[in-house]
Amino acid sequence: MSSYLIRGVRVVGAEPTDLLVRDGLVVEAGRGLAAAGAEVVEADGLVALPGLVDLHTHLREPGREDAETVETGSRAAALGGYTAVCAMANTSPVADTAGVVEQVWRLGREAGLVDVQPIGAVTVGLAGERLAELGAMATSAANVRIFSDDGHCVADPRLMRRALEYVKAFDGVIAQHAEEPRLTQGAQMHEGEVSTRLGLTGWPAVAEEAIIARDVLLAEHVGSRLHICHVSTAGSVEVLRHAKERGVRVTAEVTPHHLLLTDERAATYDPVFKVNPPLRTADDVAALRAALADGIIDIVATDHAPHAVEDKECEWGYARPGMVGLETALSVVLDVLGERWDLIADRMSRTPARIAGLTEHGHDPAPGAPATFTLVDPKARRTVDPMDSASRSRNNPYAGLVLPGRIVATFLRGVPTVLDGKAVR
Ligand SMILES: [Zn+2]
């Protein structure tokens, strides 16, 4: 295995140092290191972060390989600075058996660009009627620890309770897509001033907040772990704050797009801005940013949701919800939070790794740690071009925006997956 000397890098924003990488580990750190035979990476001005971990990625394989595959999504992830992604279960077939999660896990290993950790469905076929084989998925080669019907809410409180009880035995997590379906029938965008003006059916904030309130109480009652996907409203933040003060074992994520974009975008009727949960108001965006900084929201997760052209470039009402996000997430977070490196490392790597139980991830590059990190050029600015992407899909809501930060290199256990800003393979 080759060794690498990373020269002059600022580890999580600290003073410049050199890092020596050998046999998959960071073996030495300090100024003026020399290592015969090591490949030198000049990292003057670059910041090293622990490899990013995405708790919420849609890879679309099996079933919609025209939109994304495990391999193309893995490459997009590596280019975005990620070293691990959790693959959502709403594939076709649904990842609700040991066989399907093992297939996704194996495809991830074959691609070898990031660690692909499958998420198992909570209910058979995501139908919300009976529990899937959670135990069989947990003991499979894929070692599933997170279960989610994402795309759908586990709306039945009795099923939700049983799922929480079931995973408690192996310290699993239920990740809830919080949407009371009877409050969002026919919804097209956030319910508010803009939806009234445009005459589109609204998705009210309370449909999210009501499920989070119910589920934190269920999680408290059962004593189990709950994770809330893509929190999007100021009211949800208040429910989570209350739950955390009570000591409920709940964690929560926010997406880059909910940190940056508002429901005003729907006024363009460009379906690239259609997403579930929908883009909210500027007040919600401000509350989400504050909650991410103060830890009420634990992590950033992309909800990378690639869609084929025919599913997305059509009338607003027919377009599928969702947007891509792996290759732009860090730039959006840098834009929103500024160069608060320790906070970024925490929200995008250490904490998501901990929630997912990915023990090889989330470690700052230091002697003895796995050489699983990413190198960022914080001074670079780029204009987002949806065509310049490793993803198979082009539904990118940031097209034309100028965003800070560029991923220069990504290392997974000592092996570069990205060098000079390009995927190694
Ligand atoms: Zn969702």
Give the pLDDT score at 415.
Answer: 97
Give the pLDDT score at 363.
Answer: 98
Helix axes 70-79, 98-111, angle to 10 degrees: 50
Residue 116 pLDDT greater than 90, yes or no: yes
Give the pLDDT score at 80.
Answer: 98
Q: How far is the CA of 323 from the centre of ligand 1 (A)?
A: 12
Q: Residues 6 or more apart from 319 whose CB is under 8 A from it?
A: 271, 274, 311, 312, 313
| Torsion angle, alpha carbons of 305, 309, 310, 314, to 10 | 90
Q: Decide: 398 and 381 in contact? Cβ < 8 Å.
A: no
Q: Decide: 193 and 241 in contact? Cβ < 8 Å.
A: no
Measured distance CA(386)–CA(396) in Å, rounded: 6
Q: How far is the CA of 106 from the centre of ligand 1 (A)?
A: 24
- Under the banding of pLDDT at 50, 70 and 90, the label for residue 408 is very high
Give the pLDDT score at 12.
Answer: 98
Q: How far is the CA of 179 from the centre of ligand 1 (A)?
A: 9
Percent share of the chain, pLDDT over 90: 99
Residue 357 pLDDT greater than 80, yes or no: yes
Active site residue 303: yes
Q: How far is the CA of 151 from the centre of ligand 1 (A)?
A: 4
376-398: average pLDDT: 97
Which residue shows structure tokens 């490899």? 51
Q: How does pLDDT run across 13-31, given as a tens digit for each residue?
A: 999 999 999 999 999 999 9
Give the pLDDT score at 361.
Answer: 98
Q: How does pLDDT run across 99-112, given as a tens digit for each residue?
A: 999 999 999 999 99
Give the pLDDT score at 139.
Answer: 98
Q: How many CB atoms lie within 10 A of CB 423?
A: 16
Measured at the CA of 377, the angle between CA 28 and CA 75, to 5 degrees, comes to: 85
Set 303, 311, 346, 377: catalytic member: 303
- Under the banding of pLDDT at 50, 70 and 90, the label for residue 162 is very high
Q: How far is the CA of 33 from the centre of ligand 1 (A)?
A: 46
Which residue shows structure tokens 């949701």? 305
Q: Residues 6 or more apart from 160 whose CB is under 8 A from it?
A: 154, 174, 176, 214, 215, 218
> DSSP labels for 219-254?
HHHHT-EEEE-S---HHHHHHHHHHHHTT--EEEEE
Percent share of the chain, pLDDT over 70: 100
Q: How does pLDDT run across 238-276, given as a tens digit for each residue?
A: 999 999 999 999 999 999 999 999 999 999 999 999 999
Measured distance CA(168)–CA(208) in Å, rounded: 24
144-157: average pLDDT: 98
- The token pair at 349 is 């790597």
- Mean pLDDT value across the chain: 97
pTM score above 0.85: yes
- Under the banding of pLDDT at 50, 70 and 90, the label for residue 398 is very high
Q: Decide: 230 and 177 in contact? Cβ < 8 Å.
A: yes
Q: Decide: 127 and 186 in contact? Cβ < 8 Å.
A: no
Look up residue 181 and give its DSSP letter: G
Q: How far is the CA of 181 from the centre of ligand 1 (A)?
A: 12
Q: How does pLDDT run across 270-312, given as a tens digit for each residue?
A: 999 999 999 999 999 999 999 999 999 999 999 999 999 999 9
Give the pLDDT score at 319.
Answer: 95
Which residue shows structure tokens 């059916």? 201
Give the closest residue to 204 by CA, choosing from 188, 217, 228. Answer: 188
Residue 1 pLDDT greater than 80, yes or no: no
Give the pLDDT score at 47.
Answer: 98
Q: How does pLDDT run across 214-243, given as a tens digit for each residue?
A: 999 999 999 999 999 999 999 999 999 999
